[in-house]
Amino acid sequence: MHQRSRCPLSNKLLPVPRRELIRRLGKLGFVGPFPGAGHEYMSRGLLEVRIPNPHGSDISTALLQKILKRAGISREEWFDTD
């Protein structure tokens, strides 16, 4: 389990490294990442989710929430991918 991805006492989202985001999306049925116009993306069926460019720091909780919402992933599903 990646220690920074989940608070052990709650379902609170915490910042996550880009690699961890890609790994978990893969476990949830997404394929990729594929090159896109400005950002890479991952897809599941017809759904495409943009992946932030690598920049050395973790993906913020606010951006992670937006990505999960766009992907149709609940917090429970996210935490179950540990």
pLDDT tens for residues 20-51?
Answer: 999 999 999 999 999 988 889 999 999 999 99
Q: Where exactly are the structural domains of the chain?
A: 18-80
Per CATH, the number for 18-80 is 3.30.920.30
Opening angle at CA 58, ends 26 and 79, nearest 5: 45
Instruction: State residue 75's pLDDT score.
Output: 92
Query: pTM above 0.85?
Result: no
